[in-house]
Structure 1
Amino acid sequence: MTVIVRAFRPEDASASAEVLRAALPFMVTTPEATLWDTSHAAPASHYQLFVAERGGEIVARAEAGIAHEASTPGQAFANVYVHPEHRGHGVGALVLRTAEEHVAGAGADTVYSWVLDEVPNRSFAERRGYRASRSAHFLRLDLANGTLPPLPELPADVELVPVSAWADDPRPMFELDAECTADEPGDLDAELDDFEEWLDSTWRHPLLDQELSTVALVDGTPAAFTAARTDGRTRYGSGMTGTSRAFRGRGLAKLAKTDSLRRARAAGYTEAFTGNDSDNGPMLAINKWFGYEICATEVRYVRDLG
C-alpha cells in the first residue's frame, strides 16, 4: 500500500491529533492545539508538521524544526509518531527522512528526537544513526479516584491566585516563565527572550487554562507557578512548574500545584499528566508526593547530519 508523506493541511487537524493521542496517550492535545502550533510557530523555528497517508488515511506525523531558542546554533528536532495499528510498514522511516531533510535544509547540523523507551522504538532510532542521550518520564495521576493531599495552611506572606489575574498585562508571567525555563535540565537549553513570541506560543495557546493555572505570590511578587494545559474535557497536563531563584526552597511550587490540581478535580478533570527529566529529582519527588506514577519513559536520541 502506497505511503504519501506531505505537509500538514488545516483539514488534517483532527486525524493528526488522533495519531498523537494513539501513539503517545500521555500527552494532552486537541485538533485546535495542532492548528495553533502550525499557524503560530515563530519564523525562526522553521517549524513544519508532516503527515503520512496510507490508503488515504493519516497514520503518522512528524514535528520538525530548528531549536531557535537554544544558545548553540544548528540544533533541530524531529519527533515522529506512528499510529500503533500502522507500524511495521515503513511509514516511520519515510516521515522521519522527510523531517530530517526539512531541518537540514533550514541549516541544522544536529537533530534530536524523543523515542519511547521500548525495544522496537530504540532499535528504529539506532538503525538510522541516532545515539541515546538523556531520558524523561511521563507520569499519570488518577484525579477521579486518587487522593490529593490537602492544601497546607499558607504562610502569612503567600497568596495563591490564578494566572488569569494577569490577563491585562502578562509580562510578569513571561519573566517568571523565562527564568524557570532557563534552569530546566535538558539537552537543549532555551532562552525565552521574545515577549511577543511567548504570547503566541504560550499565553494564547488554546491548551493553556488560565483559570486552573496557579501563581504563588510572596508579598505580592510572583514567586512560583504551575501552568495547566487541558483538553477542555477530562485531561489535565502540567505545562511547566517552577519557582523564581530568589524564592526557592520554600515549597511554593508544591503549593501552587496543589491548588491547581484540587481545582482541576473540582472542575471535572479525571486524569492529570506531567513529564519530568530523569535528572530532575526535586520535581519527581514533588510529583510522587502528589501520587503521580511513572507510566512511560522517553529517551532523547541525537544524530549528526552529514
Structure 2
Amino acid sequence: MAADDVSAIHRLVSACERELYGRVQTDPGAVAAVLARPGLVPELDTLLIHDRTGQPAARAWVDRRSEVDVHPRHRGRGLGALLLDWAEARARQAGSGQIVQTVPDDDAKAVALLRSRGYEPMVTEWLLEFAMPDEPAAPEPPAGITVRPFRPGDEHTAHQLIEDAFDEWQQRRNTYQEWAQHTVERPTFAPAMSVLAFDDGQLVGATIALDLPEAGEGWIEQVAVRRDHRGQGIARLLLLHSFRAFHRHGRRTCILGTHSETGALTLYLHVGMQVRHSSTVYRKGLG
C-alpha cells in the first residue's frame, strides 16, 4: 500500500462495514493514520490484493498489531487465511513475539478462523452510541471548573494530558506526531465539538471529537481527565457538552469506542450511552 491507496482502501473498508453493520464508521483519515504509524514501512508491512478489474479485494497491515479486511464480494475464497499467513510471517520476520487482531463479535467466520489458528481472546471492545432526538442538557461545571471548545494552540497541552491519563492501561506512550495523525490533524477533526476543562487555568480534562459526514454522526475519539480530578463528574460534563455541540451542528447520534482495560464502560452507560456492537482483541504467540 501507499499514500495514494487511501481512497481505494477506504472504499474496501466501507464495503466491509456496510455488510456487517449497515453503515460506514471509518473515514479516510483513519486509513491514512494507519499508513503513517511510526515504524510501519508500507512496502513491507502492508499488502493490498486487487481483483481482475483492478478494484481492491482484500488488504492487511501488521505493526505490533494487525488488521485484515476482505471485500464481501470476495469472501469464501481463502483470502482471509492467505492474509493471516502473510501477517504472521511478516510479524515473525520483524521480530515480534506475538500478533494481535481485533475482530467484530458478529463476524462469526472471522472469529472461527482466528480461533482455529490458535488465537486467544484478550480484550473486549465496545462501540457505544448516544441518541439525541432532542438537544442534550449539559450540567453546570463543578466549583472552580470552566469549560470551553478546543482552540488552535491547545494541541500539545491536550496531547500531554491524554497520554498521562492513558498511562494506566496503554502499553506505550504515543509521540505527539502519532497522536496528532489520529486526532487534530485528521480532516474530520471537529474543534468546536472538542471540549476542554480547566481548573485555575490548568487543563484537567478533554474530549477530542471527529465529525463523520458520511455516517452523519459525531465521534468522540478520546476522553481523558487528569488523575487528581477524577470522581468530580468532569468526564460526564465534557461528554454532554460535546454531545450538545454535535446536536447543534445537526448530528443526532454520537459514538465512541472503549475497551475492557480502561474501566470506562460503566461511566458511558451512566451517561446514557448504549452498546451498538462489540469486538474482541485476539492474541497469538508466535514462538
TM > 0.5:
yes
- 2:108 pairs with 1:126: no
The counterpart of 2:27, out of the listed 20, 27, 30, is 30
Instruction: Tell me the alpha carbon deviations over residues 231-279 of structure 1, each in whole angstroms, 9 at most, x when there is no partner.
Output: 2452221211111111010010111111111101211223322112135
Partner of 2:59: 61
Question: Aligned-pair distance for 1:17?
Answer: 1.1
Task: Report the number of matched residues.
Answer: 278
More deviation, 290-299/106-115: 290-299
Instruction: Tell me the alpha carbon deviations over residues 279-300 of structure 1, each in whole angstroms, 9 at most, x when there is no partner.
Output: 544x323322343221211111
Q: Residue 209 of structure 2 contacts residue 221 of structure 2 at CA under 8 Å; is this kept in 1?
A: yes
Instruction: Tell me the alpha carbon deviations over residues 163-202 of structure 1, each in whole angstroms, 9 at most, x when there is no partner.
Output: 22xx235321121011122124xxx62223x334434454
Partner of 1:183: 168
Q: For 1:16, give the aligned amino acid.
A: I
Q: For 2:130, give the aligned amino acid.
A: L
The counterpart of 1:41, out of the listed 37, 40, 45, is 37
Partner of 1:100: 88
Question: Aligned-pair distance for 1:90?
Answer: 1.0
Instruction: Tell me the alpha carbon deviations over residues 127-178 of structure 1, each in whole angstroms, 9 at most, x when there is no partner.
Output: 22211222111122334x3x464111223411111222xx235321121011
Equivalent residue of 1:211, what SS? helix
4+ runs of 1 displaced by more than 6 Å? none
Q: Residue 16 of structure 2 contacts residue 71 of structure 2 at CA under 8 Å; is this kept in 1?
A: yes
Q: Distance in 1 between matches of 2:203 and 2:163?
A: 13
In structure 2, the CA distance between the partners of 1:201 and 1:136, relative to structure 1 (3 Å rule), is closer
Instruction: Tell me the alpha carbon deviations over residues 95-127 of structure 1, each in whole angstroms, 9 at most, x when there is no partner.
Output: 222222322222211111101214322111012
Equivalent residue of 1:264, what SS? helix
Partner of 1:70: none
Partner of 1:141: 130
The counterpart of 1:291, out of the listed 262, 268, 272, is 272
Equivalent residue of 2:250, what SS? coil
Q: Distance in 1 between matches of 2:131 and 2:245?
A: 14
Instruction: Tell me the alpha carbon deviations over residues 180-227 of structure 1, each in whole angstroms, 9 at most, x when there is no partner.
Output: 22124xxx62223x3344344543233332221111111221111111
Question: Aligned-pair distance for 1:41?
Answer: 2.4
More deviation, 16-25/129-138: 16-25
In structure 2, the CA distance between the partners of 1:134 and 1:156, relative to structure 1 (3 Å rule), is closer
- 2:206 pairs with 1:229: no
Q: Percent identity?
A: 24
Q: Provide TM-score, normalisation by structure 1.
A: 0.81
Q: Report the RMSD for the aligned CA atoms in angstroms.
A: 2.4
- 2:223 pairs with 1:238: no
Q: For 1:100, give the aligned amino acid.
A: E
Q: Residue 29 of structure 1 contacts residue 207 of structure 1 at CA under 8 Å; is this kept in 2?
A: no
More deviation, 207-216/239-248: 207-216
Q: Distance in 2 between matches of 1:27 and 1:222?
A: 33
Gaps of 5+ in 1: 1-7, 66-75
Equivalent residue of 1:108, what SS? coil
Q: For 2:85, give the aligned amino acid.
A: R
Q: For 2:223, give the aligned amino acid.
A: T
In structure 2, the CA distance between the partners of 1:32 and 1:292, relative to structure 1 (3 Å rule), is same
Equivalent residue of 1:203, what SS? coil
Question: Aligned-pair distance for 1:45?
Answer: 4.4
Q: Distance in 1 between matches of 2:109 and 2:166?
A: 32
In structure 2, the CA distance between the partners of 1:63 and 1:293, relative to structure 1 (3 Å rule), is farther
Q: Residue 149 of structure 1 contacts residue 290 of structure 1 at CA under 8 Å; is this kept in 2?
A: no
Q: Distance in 2 between matches of 1:168 and 1:199?
A: 13
Q: Residue 28 of structure 1 contacts residue 229 of structure 1 at CA under 8 Å; is this kept in 2?
A: no
Q: Distance in 2 between matches of 1:271 and 1:178?
A: 27
Q: Residue 207 of structure 1 contacts residue 229 of structure 1 at CA under 8 Å; is this kept in 2?
A: yes
Q: Distance in 1 between matches of 2:177 and 2:125?
A: 29
Question: Aligned-pair distance for 1:303?
Answer: 0.8
Equivalent residue of 1:205, what SS? coil
Q: Provide TM-score, normalisation by structure 2.
A: 0.86
Equivalent residue of 1:155, what SS? coil
Partner of 2:137: 150
Instruction: Tell me the alpha carbon deviations over residues 64-84 of structure 1, each in whole angstroms, 9 at most, x when there is no partner.
Output: 21xxxxxxxxxx211212233
Equivalent residue of 2:6, what SS? helix
Partner of 1:213: 194
